[in-house]
């Protein structure tokens, strides 16, 4: 909202303060300042001149006039001008030599077109009144020659540009900002809407409200004998331009001027083009309307329309129809002012992607009492400036609306702010806003619902006082003014008191830290897992938690795969990714592909985050609950049932060299084994032991996929998979060859309590190496598990340090070499004890995996 300071001063007796001081006071009251623009301050030495005579110069590509202009000096001045829209005897603005125009443009005497030009005749654009103008600005004949044009036309002004939040619709008008300025400076406010229109005599045009949910007040006033050639006066054009609106025609400019002044959008109809009764209703299926921007719009059944017998003639509160617009020959004009549904206009505007100055105001809430006053103000201006006759008839269709009343304790703002204002200050500030304040509690449904007394029906003063634990005389009942439809809640009233008293008065108090034990075990595990992967060489990434069906197709998931059961967003950011992710892999694989496409082929990435797995019997949507009461246990259970399960997962992807090559030697390519080792790294941080088996699971290669499981509660629980990705997946995502990945459910590794530090033995370790020959198809994990169990409690660690598949191992066999470390907590082990433990481990491996000592 652009607010010219001169216009503001018409309604507020501001002291001698600068625009910046006014802006500071308004900012302190909650109206955010965007910018301050100064107009006309640099203009100087521009006066009123009379064109005495002129000579048309021939021989040039465009018309050129050599004019003799009287400017109030001893002798007239010679000026060359390229405009032709003025005649001898006209009064025009003249920039004399030494003058400065907007933008720092200086004027001097010079010879042009073979003649002396001792100044310049100015247009509206050159004076900064408009962005463009077709010709010279011609002034009224009673303007004194030689007068200062800047003072005469009020060109010197400061404009405050304010950012108006959705709850401050009243500030989208000079009236609203002036009221705030008067309160901020403690000076009188002259309300431009404080007028009493004359009593109506009949109807201006038959009209009715067909849908009370769309409109609750509709007013029509008419004028006749309007002069279609009447021009908008310069003072109005200047004000409209300063407020950011262009001049169109007198009838349109008047409606815009009143809208800026009072905040009530208006619309002007050519009455001669109307037929039959006007009805405000919702659109019907298949209806269309060609709007003023020459676009034929297909209307939605929830759109609010103004119609006559011919059909829709205007999209209410948004844009008028082309058929009934004011044309160059319109002499009979019907002014419409109404109060439309704020939510209805907001949805209509967004539905058609059509935002207008009117819709901005209606969707924020317009004063319901303004239509009668605003329409009368517009009719007066049309009669005064356009030679029209204001007709006595007024059409006033309305639906009765009960006023909103809010009962609160008088010290409610004190409790919200954490400081004491006092009862008198609270009442005074609320009355400054325009509220009517009465002592005691009112029997209102709004007060009862607010404080949980009853969802329906009324509540007595005594019941409300008992529920609020205050005496009845400590309550006040507040009726907000009609121009503040945003005041519906006790906290809204508290906010008004707090902002007018000054946000700078609020004490700066740090909240007390609640007692607690720091991070939960799950949070600690997540941080430990992230640190461990980072230390292992992985880089953390964060992906959007949204996926599309194509992502799952690229992962080669089957139709019955549980990961294809997804939660769809009601309002997705992109229709290509309308679902919540059921796996972390798509985001990681896209990030890997993006890095590889930019030349970074040696990449190791990890991500920790939630996935969303709906239950098979979950309802498609959650119930929408009322807000005036606490949900019941059954309703909460329904919401919980509709929500997807959200386990915490960690995933890694890696490609290229995992150990980099350099001057120290050759590096090592990332393999499926590195993905499995990443899972082991995370499991160690959780104090869990992973069981690893071969498996077939999309999107991994069927022969290079490992199932990751833990033993819990006496049963084996699968917590993830790791290995090399399937070639089709690598091709679909554009990944480097042999890309490996791992995904693990971190929630399933959640420790039951703090991890206990193992006892450290001070006795020496006994090391035994053993080489076993097994069938090639035997999983290494199976052999290791047998060795670990067979070695017993003396085993401290086991490490596979060699795998051999050469001729010496025999056809179809492989040799596995392990280092076993034994240690006792209370003594030094003998060679016989270490050997016995090793032999027991080998025996169990032979029994379970068919292993035998190499060379035996």
Summarised one tens digit per residue, pLDDT across range 510-557 is: 878 777 778 888 888 999 999 999 999 999 999 999 999 999 999 999
| 794 closest CA partner among 843, 770, 761 | 761
| 165 closest CA partner among 24, 33, 21, 3 | 33
Please give the pLDDT value at position 713: 61
Mean pLDDT confidence for 828-832: 91
* pTM for the full predicted model: 0.66
Mean pLDDT confidence for 551-567: 93
In angstroms, rounded to a whole number, what is the distance separating the alpha carbons of residues 739 and 735?
7
Q: Which tokens is 776 given?
A: 């090639």
Mean pLDDT confidence for 572-588: 93
What is the sign of the dihedral through the CA atoms of 62, 68, 71 and 76?
positive
Q: Are strands 603-610 and 539-540 parallel, antiparallel or unpaired?
A: parallel
CA dihedral 295, 300, 305, 307 (to 10 degrees): 80
In angstroms, rounded to a whole number, what is the distance separating the alpha carbons of residues 160 and 164?
12
In angstroms, rounded to a whole number, what is the distance separating the alpha carbons of residues 280 and 272?
19
Distances (CA, A) of 541 to 534, 574, 584, 651, 782: 11, 21, 11, 10, 34
Please give the pLDDT value at position 828: 92
Helix orientation angle between 342-351 and 357-364, rounded to the nearest 10 degrees = 140
Please give the pLDDT value at position 368: 93
Residues 386-440 have pLDDT tens digits of 999 999 999 999 999 888 999 999 999 999 998 999 999 999 999 999 999 998 7
Mean pLDDT confidence for 150-179: 91
Answer for the pair 435, 481: CB distance below 8 angstroms, yes or no.
yes
Mean pLDDT confidence for 470-481: 80
| pLDDT at 634 > cutoff 50 | yes
Please give the pLDDT value at position 459: 36
In angstroms, rounded to a whole number, what is the distance separating the alpha carbons of residues 510 and 88?
75
Give 3-state DSSP helix, strand, coil % of the chain, rounded to 5: 30, 30, 40
CA angle 41, 45, 46 (to 5 degrees): 90
**According to DSSP H, which parts of 508-584 are helical?**
521-535, 549-554
| 653 closest CA partner among 635, 638, 666, 671 | 671
| pLDDT at 463 > cutoff 70 | no
Q: How does 509-544 read in b/e, with b if 16+ C-beta sit within 10 Å? A: eeeeeeeeeeeeeeebbbeebbebbeebebeebebe
| pLDDT at 455 > cutoff 60 | no
- Among 333-342, 461-470, 487-496, the least confident range: 461-470
In angstroms, rounded to a whole number, what is the distance separating the alpha carbons of residues 257 and 239?
8
Answer for the pair 319, 325: CB distance below 8 angstroms, yes or no.
no
Please give the pLDDT value at position 466: 46
CA dihedral 810, 812, 817, 818 (to 10 degrees): -140
* 346 exposure class (CB count in 10 Å sphere: 0-12, 13-18, 19+): middle
In angstroms, rounded to a whole number, what is the distance separating the alpha carbons of residues 196 and 396?
15
Name the band, by pLDDT with cuts 50, 70 and 90, for residue 810. confident
């Amino acid at each position: 909202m652009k607010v010219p300071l001169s216009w503001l001063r018409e309604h507020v007796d501001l002291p001698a303060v600068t625009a910046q001081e006014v802006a500071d006071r308004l900012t302190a009251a909650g109206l955010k300042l965007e910018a301050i623009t100064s107009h006309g301050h640099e203009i100087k030495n521009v006066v009123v001149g009379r064109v005495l005579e002129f000579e048309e110069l021939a021989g040039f590509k465009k018309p050129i006039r050599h004019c003799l202009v009287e400017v109030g000096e001893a002798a007239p001045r010679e000026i060359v001008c390229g405009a032709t829209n003025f005649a001898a005897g006209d009064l025009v603005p003249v920039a004399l030599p030494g003058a400065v125009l907007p933008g720092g443009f200086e004027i001097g005497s010079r010879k042009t077109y073979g003649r002396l030009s001792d100044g310049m005749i100015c247009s509206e654009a050159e004076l900064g009144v408009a962005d463009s103008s077709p010709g010279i600005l011609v002034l009224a004949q009673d303007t004194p020659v030689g007068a200062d044009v800047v003072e005469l036309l009020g060109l010197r002004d400061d404009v405050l540009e304010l950012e108006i939040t959705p709850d401050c619709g009243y500030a989208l008008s000079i009236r609203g900002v002036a009221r705030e300025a008067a309160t901020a400076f403690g000076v009188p406010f002259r309300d431009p809407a404080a007028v009493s229109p004359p009593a109506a005599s009949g109807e201006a045009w038959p009209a009715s409200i067909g849908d009370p949910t769309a409109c609750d007040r509709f007013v029509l006033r008419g004028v006749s004998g309007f002069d279609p050639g009447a021009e908008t006066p310069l003072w109005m054009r200047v004000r409209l331009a300063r407020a950011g609106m262009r001049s169109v025609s007198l009838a349109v400019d008047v409606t815009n001027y009143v809208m800026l002044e009072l905040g009530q959008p208006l619309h002007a109809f050519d009455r001669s083009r109307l037929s039959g009764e006007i009805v405000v209703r919702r659109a019907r299926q298949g209806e269309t309307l060609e709007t003023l921007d020459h676009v034929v719009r297909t209307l939605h059944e929830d759109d609010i329309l103004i119609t006559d017998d011919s059909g829709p003639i205007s999209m209410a509160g948004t844009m008028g129809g082309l058929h009934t617009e004011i044309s160059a020959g319109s002499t009979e004009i019907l002014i419409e002012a109404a109060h439309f549904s704020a939510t209805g206009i907001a949805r209509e505007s967004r539905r058609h992607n059509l935002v207008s100055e009117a819709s901005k105001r209606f969707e924020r809430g317009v004063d319901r009492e303004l239509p009668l006053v605003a329409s009368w103000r517009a009719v007066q201006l049309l009669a005064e400036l356009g030679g029209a006759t204001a007709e006595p008839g007024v059409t006033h269709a309305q639906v009765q609306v009960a006023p909103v009343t809010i009962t609160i304790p008088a010290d409610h703002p004190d409790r919200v702010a954490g400081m004491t204002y006092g009862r008198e200050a609270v009442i005074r500030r609320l009355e400054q806003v325009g509220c009517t304040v009465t002592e005691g509690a009112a029997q209102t449904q709004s007060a009862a619902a607010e404080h949980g007394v009853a969802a329906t029906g009324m509540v007595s003063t005594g019941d409300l006082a008992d529920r609020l634990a205050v005496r009845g005389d400590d309550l006040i009942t507040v009726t907000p003014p009609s121009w503040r439809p945003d005041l519906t809640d006790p906290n809204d009233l508290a906010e008004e008191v707090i902002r007018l008293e000054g946000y700078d008065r609020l004490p700066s108090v740090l909240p007390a830290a609640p007692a607690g034990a720091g991070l939960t075990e799950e949070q600690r595990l997540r941080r430990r897992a992230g640190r461990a992967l980072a230390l292992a060489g992985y880089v953390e990434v964060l992906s959007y938690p949204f996926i599309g069906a194509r992502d799952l197709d690229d992962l080669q998931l089957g139709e019955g795969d549980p990961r294809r059961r997804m939660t769809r967003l009601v309002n997705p950011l992109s229709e290509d990714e309308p679902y919540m992710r059921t796996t972390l892999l798509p985001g990681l694989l896209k990030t890997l592909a993006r890095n590889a496409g930019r030349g970074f082929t040696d990449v190791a990435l990890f991500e920790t985050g939630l996935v969303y797995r709906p239950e098979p019997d979950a309802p498609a949507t959650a119930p929408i609950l009322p807000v005036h009461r606490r949900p019941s246990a059954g309703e909460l259970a329904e919401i919980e049932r509709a929500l997807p399960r959200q386990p915490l997962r960690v995933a890694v992807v890696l490609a290229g060299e995992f150990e980099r090559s350099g001057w120290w030697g050759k590096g090592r390519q990332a393999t499926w084994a590195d993905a499995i080792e990443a899972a082991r790294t995370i499991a160690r941080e959780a104090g869990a032991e992973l069981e690893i088996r071969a498996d077939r699971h999309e999107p991994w290669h069927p022969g290079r996929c490992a199932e990751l499981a833990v033993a819990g509660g006496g049963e084996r629980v699968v917590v993830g998979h790791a290995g090399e990705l399937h070639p089709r997946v690598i091709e679909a995502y554009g990944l480097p060859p042999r890309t490996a990945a791992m995904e693990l459910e971190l929630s399933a590794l959640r420790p039951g309590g703090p991890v206990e530090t193992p006892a450290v033995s001070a006795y020496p370790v006994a090391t035994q190496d053993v080489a076993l020959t097994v069938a090639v198809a035997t999983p290494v994990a199976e052999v290791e598990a047998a060795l670990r169990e067979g070695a017993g409690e003396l085993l401290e660690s086991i490490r596979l340090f060699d795998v051999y598949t050469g001729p010496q191992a025999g056809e179809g066999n492989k040799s596995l070499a392990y280092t076993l470390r034994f240690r006792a907590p209370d003594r030094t082990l003998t060679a016989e004890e270490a050997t016995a433990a090793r032999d027991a481990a080998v025996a169990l491996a032979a029994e379970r995996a068919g292993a035998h000592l190499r060379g035996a």
